[in-house]
Amino acid sequence: MLNLVLFGPPGAGKGTQSSNIIKEFGLIHLSTGDIFRANIGNSTDLGKLAKSYIDKGQLVPDEVTIEMLKSEVNKFDDPKGFIFDGFPRTKVQAEALDEFLAEKNSKIAGMIALEVPEDELKERLRKRAINSGRTDDADPKIIANRIDVYNKETAPVKVFYKQQDKLHLINGKGSIEEITKAIVKTINAIKD
């Protein structure tokens, strides 16, 4: 299995880039944000719980998120690999993922971290709010909170993978195609 973590702050372009990459490498895209939103759309218990955090720009608790991620991974029989988008978002989640994959005799091959300056992120999220209908994009205060949570709780996950020599930084500012090319090149290097 080729398992990758696509990492970056809110608005970095993880969703956009994931869809390009899965086509190229035949991987399964698992976005915890998308799974939460699907649950919210279907008004499941998980969705109701997640909404209460997401609408404030907070993280959904680790325990709930980890269980959900595991059960999504387990839905696939003999997968070629996964691209994890929006997960792990805390050090606890990163440790749980390593342990879970080790049980399957697998591992994370690398983390691709998209780097985008904060001003640009805020501008992208503001624009996205107009079309996406995402309540967490609509309010500048909630956006600021998400970026804050990212800096405090999520950025340390980069250090976690750096210590394992698995961190690959990519400039996330530029055209979508240019960024896809840079990511594809990096993944090819990780694979070999």
Positions that interact with ligand ADP (CB under 6 A): 10-11, 32-33, 36, 53-54, 58-60, 65, 86-87, 89, 93, 136, 146
**Please, what is the minimum distance in Å from the beta carbon of residue 189 to ligand ADP?**
25
Contacts of residue 173, Cβ cutoff 8 Å, sequence gap at least 6: 115, 116, 117, 120
Looking at the Cβ atoms of 53 and 100, the one nearer to ligand ADP is 53
| Minimum distance from residue 64 beta carbon to ligand ADP (Å) | 8
**φ and ψ at residue 33, rounded to 5 degrees:** -60, -45
Least Cβ distance, residue 188 to ligand ADP (angstroms): 25
Of residues 59 and 108, the one with the C-beta less far from ligand ADP: 59
- Residue 10 beta carbon to ligand ADP: minimum distance, rounded to whole angstroms: 3
- Contact between residue 115 and residue 9 where contact means Cβ atoms under 8 Å apart: no
Residue nearest to ligand ADP (CB): 33
Could you give the residue ranges of the DSSP H alpha helices within the chain? 14-25, 32-41, 45-54, 62-73, 91-103, 118-132, 135-138, 140-149, 155-163, 176-191
Q: How many CB atoms lie within 10 A of CB 69?
A: 22
